């Protein structure tokens, strides 16, 4: 007998996190597809998941595979991820969110994924490494480098905005 | 899981949390696709009725569970996950026939249920009691004792009571038509007042 949660409960507990991860990896347009692929695949494998497993880490790992598949498909057919504009969607009129997404999209892939899985998906570095390949230390470094770049880029943007604002006043 | 390190300010900026409507739409699409791909072992939905909201659940075989609100959605789904399969999603489509027949029943346009049933949640003596119950006609009642005799265990009136109290498919399998031999309606898993209402509904036709 299994003591697993009904899968409907898994979706309602972790659906939002998985969607954030998908958006951050493949961008807002393909995120819904990545989300669906993730949960269909998870549903298929769910009965065999060991009881007591970290369900969110498991889902983020599946989301990683599905998102990478979509990225590869997109690259084969057309534009690389970094060129996909982080178009403001209905709910993201906050300019800082849009900026950060664009900055995130420009990070080298391993840095971007490490940042997203650790800071959005909540995966410990051991799990980040299991998802992406490589060692936990390498995952930690990739995330740290990614965050450092984001901070730097963000402060440049912020300074740019301050300068523009000053010009606007004068 | 917590975001532990010095980037909480950034974490919030990776995207606004998805809205409930957006996730609900994704969930609906997932349920349809899971069903199409044969991955949906248990589909469920809720239905508002004159006796309160009911939870309806079906396997590929048929309707497997009807539950009253007082049983608790979480507890009912948890039991289904353990005893049938954890591949459970809210997926109204598979319950269309059950909804139609129940709505007709409550509108007094239906006196017997014809949809396929999955009786796997009941076994042994209890199951033979449930198999007998649809034989008690609409608008009539039988005593626990009479049902015990009918299933060839004349001394087992109390066990018939237990079978009724654990009926996984109330209303559809009419355990509400089994009453005490002294004329009182007796216990009911939806509460005695619901049992009264169902018997009144059938009597008024």
Q: How many domains does chain A contain in total?
A: 1
Cβ contacts of residue B94 below 8 Å, gap of 6+? Answer: B35, B40, B43, B58
DSSP-assigned states of every residue in B14-54: S-PPPPHHHHHHHHHHHHHHHHHTT--SEEEEEEEETTEEE
Q: Kindly determine whether residue B44 and residue A8, on different chains, have CB atoms separated by under 8 Å.
A: yes
In the structure, how many helices (H) and strands (E) does chain A have? 7, 0
- What pLDDT is stored for residue B10 in this prediction? 52
- What pLDDT is stored for residue B16 in this prediction? 66
Rounded Cα distance between B43 and B58, Å, is 5
Contact between residue B59 and residue B41 where contact means Cβ atoms under 8 Å apart:
yes
Q: At B49, give phi and psi (nearest 5°).
A: -135, 170
Q: Most distant CA pair in chain B: distance in Å?
A: 73
Question: Which among B11, B19, B26 is the nearest to A36, CB-wise?
Answer: B26
What's the average model confidence in pLDDT over A77-100?
Answer: 52
SS3 of A60, please? Answer: helix
Q: B12 pLDDT exceeds 80?
A: no
Determine, yes or no, domain membership for A142.
yes
Q: A157 pLDDT exceeds 80?
A: no
Q: What is the mean pLDDT of chain B?
A: 91
Determine, yes or no, domain membership for A2.
no
Residue B53 to chain A, least CA–CA distance (Å): 19
What's the average model confidence in pLDDT over A13-23?
Answer: 90
Query: Positive or negative, the Cα torsion across B188, B192, B198, B203?
Result: positive
Instruction: Provide the domain limits for residue A98.
Output: 7-169
Determine, yes or no, domain membership for A112.
yes
Cβ contacts of residue A107 below 8 Å, gap of 6+? Answer: A115, A146, A149, A150
- Does B81 reach chain A within 8 Å, measured CB to CB? yes
**Which of B175, B178, B189, B198 is the catalytic position?**
B175
Rounded Cα distance between A112 and A25, Å, is 8
Q: Kindly determine whether residue A19 and residue B78, on different chains, have CB atoms separated by under 8 Å.
A: no
Rounded Cα distance between A80 and A99, Å, is 18
Sketch out chain B's domains with CATH numbers. 25-106 (3.30.160), 124-203 (1.10.10.10)
- Does A137 reach chain B within 8 Å, measured CB to CB? no
Rounded Cα distance between A90 and B16, Å, is 10
Rounded Cα distance between B30 and B34, Å, is 6
Q: Kindly determine whether residue B87 and residue A1, on different chains, have CB atoms separated by under 8 Å.
A: no
Determine, yes or no, domain membership for A42.
yes
SS3 of B137, please? Answer: coil
pLDDT tens, position by position, B34-68? 999 999 999 999 999 999 999 999 999 999 999 99
Q: Is B164 a catalytic residue?
A: no
Determine, yes or no, domain membership for A1.
no
Rounded Cα distance between A37 and B100, Å, is 32
Q: What is the mean pLDDT of chain A?
A: 80
What is the ipTM, given to two decimal places?
Answer: 0.87
Q: Which of A33-37, A59-63, A130-134, B195-199 has the lowest mean pLDDT?
A: A130-134
Determine, yes or no, domain membership for A152.
yes
- What pLDDT is stored for residue A169 in this prediction? 44
In the structure, how many helices (H) and strands (E) does chain B have? 8, 6
Contact between residue B85 and residue B61 where contact means Cβ atoms under 8 Å apart:
no
Question: Which among A2, A16, A124 is the nearest to B23, CB-wise?
Answer: A16
| CB < 8 Å to A41, chain B | none
């Amino acid at each position: 007998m299994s003591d697993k949660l009904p899968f409907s409960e898994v979706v309602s507990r972790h659906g939002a996190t998985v969607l954030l991860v998908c958006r951050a990896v493949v961008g807002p347009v393909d995120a819904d597809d990545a989300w669906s692929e993730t949960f269909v695949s998870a549903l298929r494998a769910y009965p065999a998941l060991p009881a007591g497993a970290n369900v969110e880490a498991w889902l983020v790992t599946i989301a990683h595979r599905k998102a990478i598949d979509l990225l590869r498909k997109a690259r084969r057919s057309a534009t690389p991820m970094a060129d996909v504009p982080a178009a403001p969607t209905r709910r993201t009129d906050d300019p800082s969110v849009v900026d950060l997404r664009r900055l995130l999209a420009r990070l080298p892939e391993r840095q971007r994924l490490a940042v997203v899985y650790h800071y959005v998906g909540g995966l410990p570095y051991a799990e980040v490494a299991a998802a992406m390949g490589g060692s936990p230390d390498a995952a930690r470094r990739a995330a740290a480098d990614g965050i450092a770049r984001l901070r730097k880029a963000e402060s440049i943007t912020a300074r740019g905005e301050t300068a523009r604002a000053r010009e606007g006043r004068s | 899981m917590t975001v532990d390190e010095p980037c909480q300010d950034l974490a919030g900026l990776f995207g606004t949390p998805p809205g409930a409507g957006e996730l609900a739409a994704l969930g609906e699409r997932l349920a349809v696709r899971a069903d199409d791909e044969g991955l949906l072992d248990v589909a469920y939905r809720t239905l508002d009725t004159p006796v309160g909201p009911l939870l309806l659940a079906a396997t590929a075989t048929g309707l497997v569970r009807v539950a009253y609100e007082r049983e608790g959605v979480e507890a009912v789904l948890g039991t289904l996950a353990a005893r049938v399969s954890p591949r459970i999603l809210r997926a109204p489509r598979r319950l269309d026939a059950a909804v139609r027949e129940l709505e007709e029943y409550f509108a007094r346009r239906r006196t017997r249920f014809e949809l396929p049933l999955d009786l796997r949640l009941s076994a042994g003596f209890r199951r033979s009691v449930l198999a007998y119950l649809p034989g008690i006609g609409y608008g009539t009642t039988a005593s626990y004792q009479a049902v015990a005799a009918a299933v060839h265990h004349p001394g087992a009136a109390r066990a018939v009571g237990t079978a009724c109290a654990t009926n996984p498919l109330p209303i559809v399998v009419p355990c509400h038509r089994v009453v005490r031999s002294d004329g009182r309606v007796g216990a009911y898993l939806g509460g005695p007042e619901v049992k009264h209402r169902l018997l009144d509904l059938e009597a008024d036709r």
